[in-house]
Structure 1
Amino acid sequence: MTDVVIIGGGPGGYEAALVASQLGGRVSLIERRGLGGAAVLTDVVPSKTLIATAEVMTTLRGAHDLGLRLAGTDDLAEAFSVDLDAVNRRVLRLAAAQSRDIGARLRGEGVRLIDGTGRLDGTEAVIAVTADGEERLSADIILLATGTTPRELPEARPDGERILTWTQLYGLRELPERLIVVGSGVTGAEFASAYNALGADVVLVSSRDQVLPGEDGDAGRVVQQVFERSGMSILSRSRAQSAKVAGGEVVVRLADGRTVSGSHCLMAVGSVPNTAGIGLAEAGVSCNDAGYVTVDKVSRTTARGVYAAGDCTGVFALASVAAMQGRIAMWHSLGDAVGPLDLRTVAANVFTAPEIATVGVGQAEVDAGLVNAHAVMLPLRTNPRAKMRRITDGFVKVFCLPTTRIVIGGVVVAPIASELIETLSLAVREKLTVDQLAESFTVYPSLSGSIAEAARRLHTHSAADAGSVY
C-alpha cells in the first residue's frame, strides 16, 4: 500500500486526502488548527457568511424604492440594528460546523488525522509534532498544503483589539464606529463593502488609482462608484506607513505625511506563505524569492515524490484552485488519469456589492496586445429582470476569438455574479462559440439573458472588425 502524508488540512490538503484514500492510499493528514484550514476557519467560510449578512442589509435599504414600507419609517433598514456579537458568533459557529463535517468525512474514508505540525525529513518521511511528542511517518508521497499567514507591516503590528488582520475581525463584539481598511485588493474591498453595508463608517486606503487593481478595470470602476455613492471614503494613491493606537483610537500615518483616525483598523496588505522551518531546502524543494513553493502544472515540486497545493504555491489564491491542485497531485502520483491545471478555465469571484466574477482572458490581456479578441459589454440596467430587482450597477462582458468566434473569457458584475459566471465558465472550458452560447435557451426575464444577448451581438461582427464593442 502507498503511504501518503499530507501537511495541511485546508482545501488542498483535505481534497487530496479524499482522492488518495479513494485510490487506495494509506493517508495521514497533519493539521494544527482544525480541518478546513484558514479557508474554513478564518477566511472564505467566515468572511462570506459575514458578507451574506451584509447583503440582507443592502436589500433592506433598497426596499423603499420597491414600494415596501414599515409603519413609522420610510427606510426599512432603520427598523433593524446590527448585533455584531451575534453576527460573529453565528459566523464562527458555521465555520466550526463545516470543519467538523470535513473531519467526519475524512475519518469515514479512513484518513488518519493528526493534530499538530509537520516538517519534512528528506523526501521519504515527515516528522509529525504533536502534544504527545514527535512521530516519524514514512511516506511514498508527500503533499505540502501549508497555506499562508496575513502579512504584517513592521510599523502596523496587529494587537487583536484595535489593529486587526482579517483573521481577528470575528472577535469584535460591536460594530466599529469608524473602520480604516488598509489595502484595496480583494480582501480589503470585500470587508470594506461588508462593514459599510452593516452601517460602519468605512475609510478605504488604496495605494492605487482605483480599488481592486487586479480585476477588470471596468468592473473595478463600477465597484468604486458604488462604494463612494454609499458613503464610503476612499483615499486613492495613498500608501499606509504605520498604524498606532493612541487615546482609544487608531491613527494611520500615510507615506505623504497625512494621517487618518478611526476606532479600528483592518490591515489587508497581502499574505506570506507558511514555508519556513519545515525542511524544504534540505529536502530539495525549491521556493521563489517570496517563499512560495515552486510547482509545475501537475503540482510536482522540485523534489521527487513531493507535491504542493494551495496558497503556499502562490499559483492562484482560491480555495477551488487549491482543491484542484491537491486532487491533481494525487491523481498524478497514484497513477490515475489526469490533466494539467489550466488557469484559463478558473472562475474567480470578488464578493463585494456588487460582485465581480471572471473567467478566462481578461481586458488587460487584450489591451496589452497579448490576445487578439473581440468583446461586447452590456450594462445590466437595460436587462428587464435587473429593472425589476432595482439593479442599476453592473454589466456582462464576453470575449471571443475574431475568426472562430470561440468564447475565451468573460466578466460579470452583478449582485449574484458568482452564480452567473458558471455559464461563461462552461463556454470557455468547452470552447463553445458565441453562436452556440447564443442559441441556448435562457429564462425570460433573467439576468443570465444578458449573457446570451452579448453572445448574439458578437455574432454580428466579422473577422475584419477591430476593437471592442461597448
Structure 2
Amino acid sequence: MRGTKVVILGGGPGGYEAALVAAHLGANVTVIDRDGLGGAAVLTDCVPSKTLIATADYMSEFETAHELGVHLQDQEGDDVSDAHAHLAEINQRVLDLAAAQSADISKRLEEVGVRIVRGSGHLASPTSVVATTEEGQEEFTAEVVLVSTGATPRVLASAVPDGERILTWQQIYELPELPEHLIVVGSGVTGAELAQAYLGLGTRVTLVSSRDLVLPGEDQDAAAVIEEVFRRRGMEVLNRSRMAGAERRGDGVVVHLEDGREIEGSHVLIAVGAIPQTAGLGLEEVGVELTESGHIKVDRVSRTTVRGIYAAGDCTGVFALASVAAMQGRIAMSHALGDAVSPLDLDAVSANVFTDPEIATVGRNAASMAGVAAVEEVMMPLSTNPRAKMLGINEGFVKMYCAKASGVILGGVIVAPRASELIFPIALAVQHRLTVDQVAGTFTVYPSLTGSLAEAARRLHPTRTN
C-alpha cells in the first residue's frame, strides 16, 4: 500500500532486503540500524569469513601446483614450496571489503528513498518505535514493523572472550599476526570453516568436536570427506571431546576438556553457536511471543503473534542463513503491503559450507529420508569426472535424491571446490519439481563438473522404473 509507514529494526540481510521491497511497493521506509548496513553477515560473519577462506584457498593452489606439473621458482631457479600469509594485510583487506559492501548497501537504500537512522530501536507499542541515537531519542509511528536484529556469538561463562587470546568469530579480524597454535572449539559450520581457513594460512590447528564427526548438522558422507581432508592436511581433530573451560596461561591459552585433558595453544576460537538479539526490544511488552531460547515466533510469511509486527533472520531461529533472512524479509513486506507472495519453503533452501572442498546442499537431506522406501538415491564420486581430473580434484561427490514413483528430484549434495556454484541446477530442479528425466535430458558442457549432475540423474532413471 503506497505511503504505508514501515519501520525496520536492523539493517542485516532481512532488514535491507525488506526495505528494498517495501520502497519498491511505495511504502515510507525507515531502517534503524546500530552496527552498520549489512549487519553481521556483511561486517563480521559471512563476507569477512568467506574472504578469509578465499585467501586460504588461493594459498592452497601453491601447494598443489606441482601435481599439475607447475613448479614455482625463485630468481636462482630453486623451487619455492611455501607461500606465507601476512595476516595483518589479509585482515585489512577483509575489513575494507566488508566496509565497502556495507557502503554499497547503504547507498542503494538511500537511492530508493529509505531513511537510515544510526542507532538502536525498541517498540514502545505495536505501532510505535523509539530510536536512540547520539542526538537523543526519536519516535516513529509505524503501520508495519519488521524486527531483524540478528544474533550474536554465544559466550560461555567458563571461556569469556577477551579479544586477544580467547576469541569469538567476530574478533578474529583484529589479530595482528597468525596464531602459532589455534584451538577451535566447536565443529559446526563456523568452527569447521575457520579452522580450515587458518590451517590453510599456515597455522597449527586443533579442532575440538563434541560429536563423532565434524559438521554434525551436515550430510554425514560429506562430513566424513571433510574430516579426512582436515586430518590429511595436518589438523588435529579431537572427536567426542567437550570443553569444560578456557583460560589464559602466560603468553597463550589452555583449554580444559571435560575428561580432564588440557590443550595448550596460543589462541582459542570459541564457535559454539549464537543467541538471538531480542532482549531489550520491548517485544514481550507489546505481546510478541518468544521461544524458550529467546527467538521470535513467526509463521511462513514472517508474521509474529502481534498484528502488523513481522520478524526475519537469525532472531527468528528459522534457518541461520543470510539467504533465508533475506527471503523472510522480502516475504514479510510483500505480505504486509498486499503484494503477491508465496510462503517460505524450507524444502527448497540451498546452503553451503565453505570448507575446501565445499559442501553444498539443497532440499531434503539423507537423515530426513532414511528408511523411506519411496525415495531413490545415487552417489557418484567426482574422481571419475574428466573435468575434475584435469583440475586435480581428488575428493568429493555428487549425491541426488528423487521420488521413486514420479522421479521428481527432492534434494542433493555436492562436495567439490566451488560446490556453492554447482548446486544451483539442483536447486532449480527442487524448486520447480523437475524430474530426473528432465535434468538428464538437458545438455551439459563436456567436459564439465556439471556433467556429473546429469549423469546422476541418468543413473536414477533405471532404478526408478524397476
Q: Same fold (TM over 0.5)?
A: yes
2:39 aligns to what?
Answer: 37
Task: Give the CA deviation at 1:60.
Answer: 1.3
1:213 aligns to what?
Answer: 216
2:114 aligns to what?
Answer: 111
2:315 aligns to what?
Answer: 312
Cα offsets for 1:424-463 (capped at 9, x unmatched): 0000011010000001111111111100000000011135
1:17 aligns to what?
Answer: 19
* Residue 222, structure 1, aligned to residue 217, structure 2: no
Asked whether the equivalents of residues 347 and 421 of structure 1 are also in contact (C-alpha less than 8 Å), the reply is yes
Which of 59, 64, 67 aligns to 2:66? It is 64
Which of 204, 207, 218 aligns to 2:207? It is 204
Query: Structure 1 regions of 5+ residues with no counterpart?
Result: 465-470
Q: Which moved more, 1:66-75 or 1:335-344?
A: 66-75
Asked whether the equivalents of residues 295 and 313 of structure 1 are also in contact (C-alpha less than 8 Å), the reply is yes
SS at match of 2:423: helix
Asked whether the equivalents of residues 30 and 118 of structure 1 are also in contact (C-alpha less than 8 Å), the reply is yes
2:453 aligns to what?
Answer: 451
Task: Give the CA deviation at 1:206.
Answer: 0.2
Task: Give the CA deviation at 1:71.
Answer: 2.6
Task: Give the CA deviation at 1:254.
Answer: 0.4
Within-5 A mapping of 1:290-305: 290-305=293-308
Counterpart-to-counterpart distance in 1, 2:368 and 2:40: 32
Query: Structure 2 regions of 5+ residues with no counterpart?
Result: none
Within-5 A mapping of 1:381-460: 381-460=383-462
Taking structure 1 as reference, are residues 446 and 244 closer, same or farther at Cα in structure 2, changes over 3 Å only?
A: same
Counterpart-to-counterpart distance in 2, 1:242 and 1:334: 49
Task: Give the CA deviation at 1:173.
Answer: 1.2
Give the count of matched residue pairs.
Answer: 462
Task: Give the CA deviation at 1:139.
Answer: 0.3
Asked whether the equivalents of residues 8 and 145 of structure 1 are also in contact (C-alpha less than 8 Å), the reply is yes
Counterpart-to-counterpart distance in 2, 1:394 and 1:247: 42
Asked whether the equivalents of residues 165 and 266 of structure 1 are also in contact (C-alpha less than 8 Å), the reply is yes
Counterpart-to-counterpart distance in 1, 2:264 and 2:152: 26
Cα offsets for 1:37-58 (capped at 9, x unmatched): 1000000111111111011011
Counterpart-to-counterpart distance in 2, 1:454 and 1:328: 34
Asked whether the equivalents of residues 402 and 436 of structure 2 are also in contact (C-alpha less than 8 Å), the reply is yes
* Residue 177, structure 1, aligned to residue 148, structure 2: no
2:130 aligns to what?
Answer: 127
* Residue 268, structure 1, aligned to residue 271, structure 2: yes
Cα offsets for 1:2-43 (capped at 9, x unmatched): 100000000000000011011011000000011101000000
Query: Amino acid of the residue matched to residue 89 of structure 2?
Result: A
Identity %: 61
Asked whether the equivalents of residues 73 and 79 of structure 2 are also in contact (C-alpha less than 8 Å), the reply is no
Taking structure 1 as reference, are residues 449 and 290 closer, same or farther at Cα in structure 2, changes over 3 Å only?
A: same
SS at match of 2:420: helix
Within-5 A mapping of 1:156-175: 156-175=159-178
Asked whether the equivalents of residues 154 and 272 of structure 2 are also in contact (C-alpha less than 8 Å), the reply is yes
Query: Amino acid of the residue matched to residue 429 of structure 1?
Result: Q
1:468 aligns to what?
Answer: none
Counterpart-to-counterpart distance in 2, 1:318 and 1:386: 29
Counterpart-to-counterpart distance in 1, 2:163 and 2:464: 58
Cα offsets for 1:136-182 (capped at 9, x unmatched): 10000000000001001111000000000000000011111100000
Asked whether the equivalents of residues 63 and 76 of structure 1 are also in contact (C-alpha less than 8 Å), the reply is no
* Residue 241, structure 1, aligned to residue 239, structure 2: no
Query: Amino acid of the residue matched to residue 430 of structure 2?
Result: V
Which of 53, 56, 66 aligns to 1:54? It is 56
Task: Give the CA deviation at 1:226.
Answer: 0.4
Counterpart-to-counterpart distance in 2, 1:233 and 1:85: 25
SS at match of 1:462: helix
Structure 1 runs (4+) greater than 6 angstroms displaced: none
Asked whether the equivalents of residues 366 and 372 of structure 1 are also in contact (C-alpha less than 8 Å), the reply is no
TM-score (norm 1): 0.97
Counterpart-to-counterpart distance in 2, 1:411 and 1:349: 10
Counterpart-to-counterpart distance in 2, 1:75 and 1:259: 39
Asked whether the equivalents of residues 64 and 76 of structure 1 are also in contact (C-alpha less than 8 Å), the reply is no
Task: Give the CA deviation at 1:76.
Answer: 4.5
Query: Amino acid of the residue matched to residue 195 of structure 1?
Result: Y
1:378 aligns to what?
Answer: 380
* Residue 281, structure 1, aligned to residue 284, structure 2: yes
Which of 74, 82, 104 aligns to 1:101? It is 104
Task: Give the CA deviation at 1:366.
Answer: 1.5
Counterpart-to-counterpart distance in 2, 1:153 and 1:75: 47
